[in-house]
Amino acid sequence: MAFKIPIRQLFIDGEWRAPIKGNRFPVINPATEETIGEIPSATVEDVEVAVKAARTAFTRNRGKYWARTSGAFRAKYLRAIAAKVTERKSELAELEVLDCGKPLDEAAWDMDDVAGCFEYYAGLAEALDSKQRAPVSLPMEAFKSHVLKEPIGVVGLITPWNYPLLMATWKVAPALAAGCTAILKPSELSSVTCLELASICKEVGLPPGVLNVITGLGREAGAPLAAHPDVDKVAFTGSTATGRSVMTAAAQVIKPVSLELGGKSPIIVFEDVDIDKAVEWTMFGCFWTNGQICSATSRLLVQESIAKEFIEKLVNWTKNIKICDPLEKDCRLGPVVSEGQYKKIFGLISAAKDEGATVLCGGKHPEHLKKGYYIEPTVLSVNPSMRIWKEEVFGPVLCFTTFKTEDEAIDLANDTEYGLGGAVLSKDADLCQRVTESLQAGIIWVNCSQPCFCQAPWGGNKRSGFGRELGEWGLENYMIVKQVTEYVSNDPWGWYPSPSRL
């Protein structure tokens, strides 16, 4: 019998509520193609109720309720959530696997990161208590000025499907730490663990309305949330195309947005590397999470002198990656998230072949798996003018080309509309520094690819978006400064020009 996920409703104002129109949609396990449950589908009417609940929680009794609590008070809830995530780690990891297809080990790792991120922002919330009032030095003694750091207000958080609970946490934890109240709208392709986060918030007694979770389709629930005039800020992670719609909607009511969008990041391998280690990082950088990582280093540039040896090893090792049901022990590659993604990725591979790309390995559905949206890890030898070199695939597809000189590598790496990540592999520290400084991207890895820590800033340039998540930058995303200037002189003419002398 197919595994069934918990039956949940929308989480609004601290209560489970059926969607007003009563719509629900199926949850499909991408490894088996079976329907394993249903998720409530919110519409504009539910968004309205959720925004009201978040607003009330923010400004209850005309004061600023959640916003006026101390950082230490909010930190207690964040730590309680972290503890519950740790307690329920294996169950949450299993749900994540069933919902989005990532290997179980990786999902378990995500849950550790989720708990770690809530803990980290609990610490920053506590530290806020001593930082909320910062003096500003002025050139006139008659005045004193300081800035108050305040939570920005009610925030709309819209997230993608590749790291369902982790991407939500990167927004929820700093938003709540800052004193904002939030409406989280996870991806319709993987909402299950976000509803479990709601159940954890209920369990730890998070005050009603502080976090609301509405599941639903992008156009029915995400779009009205982004456009809502009483949502003070939208933090979005997803594709560049949807990011553009979110920004357009936010522009109509002049609200700030932060955008974490797509990528097509390069990995540059110089001839002096240890080839085995470089091959390992290259594979990790592209095939981790079934290749569905925004920062995947999916454009491989190898210096011509070592290209033959490097690619032979890379292809041999890639052919040996264990592809199976992601719940199986030692699975290294599971299915992609949905039938839609599966078809889109094969469409891109097929178009690349039509343009003359050579398939060095993969490029097809694995023969031993009859059901599920599996795609063999694929290495393509391409020409940088091809579409597949430029477009985000968001699947286990690595495109490879060669370069001769450092300058050529940098030019090829930067010749993209995206600017999320990049990796440089070489034993020469000076060369690594030169390349790091030349790459147009928000995150650079040196002699590695993909490690991510909640203390360090995350985000992209160019069409990969703007704003930074994680670290102190992530908290700043949810805060606003207010200038307070006071007249402190006893002399009524202590400043010039005085209004009465005008």
Binding-site ranges for ligand NAD (CB under 6 A): 158-162, 167, 185-188, 218-219, 222-223, 226, 237-239, 242, 245-246, 260-263, 294, 392, 394, 420, 460, 464-465
Q: What is the dihedral of CA 365, 367, 373, 375, to 10 degrees?
A: -40
Strands of 15-17's sheet in order across:
15-17, 10-12, 211-213, 181-185, 154-158, 233-237, 257-260, 465-466
Indicate the residue whose CB is closest to ligand NAD: 218
- DSSP code, position 105: H
Question: For the chain, what is the radius of gyration of the CA atoms?
Answer: 25
- The whole-angstrom separation of Cα 276 and Cα 255 is 49
DSSP category for residue 442 = S
Task: From 454, 449, 383, select the one nearest 116 (Cα to Cα).
Answer: 454
H-helix or E-strand containing 172?
helix 164-178
CA 406 centroid distance within chain? 31
Taking CA atoms, 483 is separated from 132, 135, 288, 348, in Å, by 12, 10, 46, 52
Structure-block tokens of residue 83: 């503890």
294 catalytic residue (yes or no) = yes
Q: Compute CA 300 distance to the chain's CA centroid, rounded to the nearest angstrom.
A: 23
Nearest CB to ligand NAD, comparing residues 77 and 287 = 287
Active-site residue flag, 100:
no
Please give the structure tokens belonging to residue 208. Answer: 């009603």
- In angstroms, give the least distance from the CB of 72 to ligand NAD: 30
CB of 162 to ligand NAD, least distance (A): 5
Cβ distance to ligand NAD smaller for residue 65 or 389? 389
Q: Which is nearer to ligand NAD, 147 or 217 (CB)?
A: 217
Phi–psi pair at 213, nearest 5 degrees: -120, 115
Complex with ligand NAD: residue 29 or 258, whichever CB lies closer: 258
CB of 215 to ligand NAD, least distance (A): 9
SS3 215: coil
How many CB atoms within 10 Å of residue 32? 17
Min CB(411)–ligand NAD separation in Å: 23
The DSSP call for residue 458 is B
Phi/psi of residue 438, each to 5°? Answer: -90, -20
Report the residue number, 186 or 363, with the smaller CB distance to ligand NAD. 186
CB of 234 to ligand NAD, least distance (A): 8
Q: Name the catalytic one among 294, 331, 361, 454.
A: 294
Q: Which residue out of 119, 188, 260, 406 is catalytically annotated?
A: 260
Put residue 356 in one of left, alpha, beta given phi > 0 → left and psi -120 to 50 → alpha. left
Minimum CB separation from ligand NAD for residue 470, in Å?
10
Give, in degrees to the nearest 5, the angle at Cα 454 between 420 and 89: 115
Q: Tell me the closest approach of the beta carbon of residue 250 to ligand NAD, in angstroms.
A: 10
Min dist. Cβ of residue 208 to ligand NAD (A): 24
Choose between 171 and 332: whose C-beta lies nearer to ligand NAD: 171
Q: Is 247 or 351 the residue whose CB approaches ligand NAD more closely?
A: 247
| Count of CB atoms situated within 10 Å of the CB of 147 | 16
Helix H or strand E segment including 405: none
Sole residue written with tokens 């995150």 = 443
Q: Between 98 and 227, whose beta carbon lies closer to ligand NAD?
A: 227
Evaluate whether 279 touches 307 at the Cβ level (below 8 Å). no
Catalytically active residues, by annotation: 260, 294
